[in-house]
């Protein structure tokens, strides 16, 4: 009888804990937040939830911002949709703004994850010299005291090794994939702790709300071609 009573009491305590928030907190802590999976668009469409920002007053949807030699379109392969960024002697970039196209707090989601593959990288490019980059994901945090964008740029490099960090004042470049690796042309998953990366490259704590996420391809300096696919951009909670 005592054993049965103890079991009942224990079960009630567990139930109260779950209903009182402990279980819910755990569920919330494991929830990711999708920035874009590109599944909501028609195949062949331009992902028009992304914008090109030239200034606070000049923001254009992707379909109105593409220049000759640029392509930004949704493709499908093996049942999954993704976006392709293509440039021919051009620099193409599109953003989602925090508080506009999505919502992001580093306190709840300090990590960023995406998958991509580089089909063609600008020949002879280097983030240290001919600074074209076949593919990049930027996180922008605002401006420095001179009004320059303060960003971390995660790149798929044509030549530099993974882990290389390059600094251009308020722009910090971190190579996360490279043509120097044997896996170019295959899908790769990248996962970064944006908060930790910010502390490493800027030396202090990041603001809680980044300004934007930008995806780009860049081949205008080398006068060549870049072609990169990107998919499943999402924010992750702490480990």
Question: Shortest CA distance to 231 belongs to which of 40, 89, 61, 90?
Answer: 40
> Which residues of the chain register pLDDT less than 70?
1-30
Cα–Cα distance between 95 and 101 in angstroms, integer? 9
Domain ranges of the chain: 1-30, 35-236
Q: Are 86 and 215 in contact (CB under 8 A)?
A: no
**pLDDT tens profile 43-57:** 999 999 999 998 777
Cα–Cα distance between 136 and 184 in angstroms, integer? 15
Mean pLDDT of the chain, nearest integer: 88
* Residues in Cβ contact with 203 at an 8 Å cutoff, skipping those fewer than 6 apart: none
The DSSP string of 178-239 is ETTSTTTTS-EEEEEEHHHHHHHHHSSPPPSS-SEEEEEEE-TTTT-EEEEEEEEEEEE---
Which CATH number is associated with domain 35-236?
A: 2.60.120
Alpha-carbon torsion angle 134, 132, 125, 234, nearest 10: -30
Q: How many CA atoms lie within 13 A of 132 on its CB side?
A: 26
Task: Name the maximum alpha-carbon separation found in the chain.
Answer: 83
Cα–Cα distance between 27 and 17 in angstroms, integer? 13
Catalogue the E-assigned strands of the chain.
Answer: 33-36, 51-55, 58-61, 70-77, 80-88, 91-97, 111-120, 135-143, 149-157, 165-168, 171-178, 188-193, 212-218, 225-236
Neighbours of 119 (CB within 10 A): 15
**pLDDT tens profile 93-116:** 999 999 999 999 999 999 999 999
pLDDT at 118: 97
């Amino acid at each position: 009888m005592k054993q049965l009573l103890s079991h009942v009491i224990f079960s009630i305590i567990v139930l109260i804990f779950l209903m009182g928030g402990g279980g819910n907190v755990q569920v919330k802590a494991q929830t990711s937040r999708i920035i874009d999976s590109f599944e909501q668009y028609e195949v062949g469409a331009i992902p028009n939830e992304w914008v090109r920002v030239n200034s606070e007053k000049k923001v254009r949807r992707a379909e109105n911002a593409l220049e000759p030699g640029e392509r930004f379109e949704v493709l499908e392969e093996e049942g999954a949709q993704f976006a392709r960024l293509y440039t021919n002697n051009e620099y193409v970039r599109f953003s989602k703004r925090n508080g506009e196209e999505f919502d992001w707090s580093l306190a709840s989601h300090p990590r960023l994850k995406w998958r991509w593959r580089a089909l063609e990288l600008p020949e002879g490019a280097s983030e240290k010299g001919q600074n074209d980059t076949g593919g990049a994901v930027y996180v922008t945090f605002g401006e420095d005291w001179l009004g320059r964008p303060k960003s971390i740029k995660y790149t798929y490099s044509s030549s530099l090794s993974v882990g290389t960090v390059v600094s251009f004042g308020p722009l910090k470049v971190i190579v996360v994939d490279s043509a120097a690796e044997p896996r170019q042309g295959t899908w790769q998953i990248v996962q970064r702790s944006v908060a930790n990366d910010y502390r490493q490259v800027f030396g202090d704590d990041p603001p809680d709300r980044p300004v934007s996420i930008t995806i780009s391809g860049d081949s205008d300096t080398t006068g060549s071609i870049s072609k990169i696919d990107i998919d499943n951009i999402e924010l992750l909670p702490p480990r």
